[in-house]
């Protein structure tokens, strides 16, 4: 622009050879060049250093602006404030954040929740954009009218445990007439109800308690049994509580994870499922190249040892694609059970919920 300006000035100095009209035209060209240069400095996506959050859709057509902050919810609480699995590893190592920056997302805010129902409430209210939780609360929420879409099922082998109090029931049959603490609406709720039905135990009482409260109640003898999972369940067994059953011997009662996103956020970022799953798969590929470090990471967030973390959450349980045939089959079974037991308000097709 400055060079063009000097050339115009030099021409004017040569005895006024240019007419007034020519001069005006050239000055207009200068101003237009300045305007174009200014615009190019502020446009584009965050990936190329621009200042907007506009992304290009698959067909090359610009979509609506993507919020710079992505609000993600997960189940659990730990000092690193990240979940396990490929998502947690990718966020912990910065792999996912780096991928999301290409689309104008500059921050991922993570919030841990004690259970799935609490997380779905935050998702429905708009405090979260998306989250990872158990399949049962996710299904119950969708069946109740929550405007969510299922974009991934990253694991289909979550084992629930049924733990009896010391000097209490020794078998599942012994739970007849007993009180069992469960987290209402969780995958472990579904596991226990399904187990008792299969075993023909009908006379029992369920009370809703979060795991810390249920653990304390079991220790006091206020309840006869409780549900738990993962490292916490194994620790209870080591402490002398009775291992009554676990879902590993009931494949149809296993839990699975569900990654759901609000329709409100999808309206802002339609390509989010594709972008998120691609970032997650990149994190999983890195995780598999650092297995020992990954189990040390799990041990830190689970307050346990790498050996126990490997036993409870082996890498082989992590799905390398958003959906699998066996995972979808498990979802169907869980959904049908919840509808039959009237825990889910209405029936629906899993395929209508899934966003592939």
- Token readout for 74 is 């997960």
Q: Name the residue among 109, 100, 108 with its Cα closest to residue 55.
A: 100
CATH says 160-253 is which class?
alpha beta
What average pLDDT score do residues 309-333 get?
A: 95
Where are the domains positioned within the chain? 1-31, 69-157+256-353, 160-253
- The pLDDT of 154-180, averaged and rounded, is 96
How would residue 64 be classed by pLDDT, with cut points 50, 70 and 90?
A: low
The tens digit of pLDDT for each residue in 30-47 reads 334 434 433 333 333 333
**Whether the Cβ atoms of residue 98 and residue 169 lie closer than 8 Å to each other:** no
Cite the beta strand spans of 135-216 per DSSP E: 148-152, 160-164, 179-182, 205-208
Q: pLDDT digits over 276-287, tens only? A: 999 999 999 999
pLDDT band at 94 (very low <50, low <70, confident <90, very high): very high
- Does the structural domain 69-157+256-353 have CATH classification 3.40.190.10? yes
Q: What is the pLDDT of residues 199-242, one digit of tens each?
A: 999 999 999 999 999 999 999 999 999 999 999 999 999 999 99
Give the predicted TM-score (pTM) of the model. Answer: 0.78
Contact of 73 with 123, CB cutoff 8 Å = yes
Q: What was the pLDDT predicted at 226?
A: 98
Strands 130-134 and 257-262: antiparallel
* Beta bridge partners of residue 235, listed in sequence order: none
Q: What's residue 65's pLDDT?
A: 85
Q: What mean pLDDT, rounded, does the chain reach?
A: 85
- Asked if domains 69-157+256-353 and 160-253 share a fold, the reply is yes
Query: Residue 115: what pLDDT?
Result: 87
């Amino acid at each position: 622009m400055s060079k063009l300006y000097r050339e115009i000035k030099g021409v004017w100095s040569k005895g006024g050879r240019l007419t007034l009209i020519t001069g005006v035209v050239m000055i207009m060209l200068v101003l237009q060049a300045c305007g174009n240069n200014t615009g190019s400095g502020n446009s584009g996506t965050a990936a190329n250093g621009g200042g907007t959050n506009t992304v290009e859709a698959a067909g090359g057509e610009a979509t609506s602006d993507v919020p710079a902050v992505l609000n993600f919810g997960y189940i659990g609480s730990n000092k690193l404030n990240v979940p396990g699995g490929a998502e947690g590893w990718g966020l912990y190592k910065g792999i996912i954040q780096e991928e999301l920056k290409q689309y104008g997302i500059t921050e991922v805010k993570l919030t841990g929740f004690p259970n799935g129902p609490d997380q779905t409430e935050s998702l429905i209210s708009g405090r979260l954009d998306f989250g990872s939780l158990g399949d049962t609360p996710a299904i119950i929420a969708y069946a109740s009218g929550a405007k969510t879409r299922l974009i991934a099922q990253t694991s289909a082998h979550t084992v629930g445990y049924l733990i009896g109090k010391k000097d209490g029931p020794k078998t599942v049959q012994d739970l007849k007439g007993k009180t069992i603490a469960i987290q209402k609406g969780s995958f472990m709720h579904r596991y226990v109800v399904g187990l008792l039905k299969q075993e023909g135990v009908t006379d029992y009482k369920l009370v809703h308690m979060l795991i810390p409260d249920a653990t304390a109640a079991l220790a006091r003898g206020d309840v006869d049994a409780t549900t738990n999972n993962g490292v916490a369940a194994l620790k209870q067994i080591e402490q002398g509580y009775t291992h009554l059953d676990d879902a590993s011997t009931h494949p149809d009662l296993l839990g699975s994870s569900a990654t759901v996103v609000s329709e409100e956020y999808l309206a802002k970022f339609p390509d989010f499922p594709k972008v998120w799953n691609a970032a997650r798969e990149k994190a999983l590929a890195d995780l598999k190249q650092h297995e020992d470090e990954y189990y040390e990471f799990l041990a830190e967030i689970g307050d346990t040892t790498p050996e126990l973390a490997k036993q409870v959450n082996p890498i082989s349980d992590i799905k390398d694609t958003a959906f699998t045939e066996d995972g979808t089959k498990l979802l169907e079974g869980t959904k049908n059970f919840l509808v039959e037991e009237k825990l889910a308000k209405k029936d629906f097709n899993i395929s209508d919920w899934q966003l592939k």
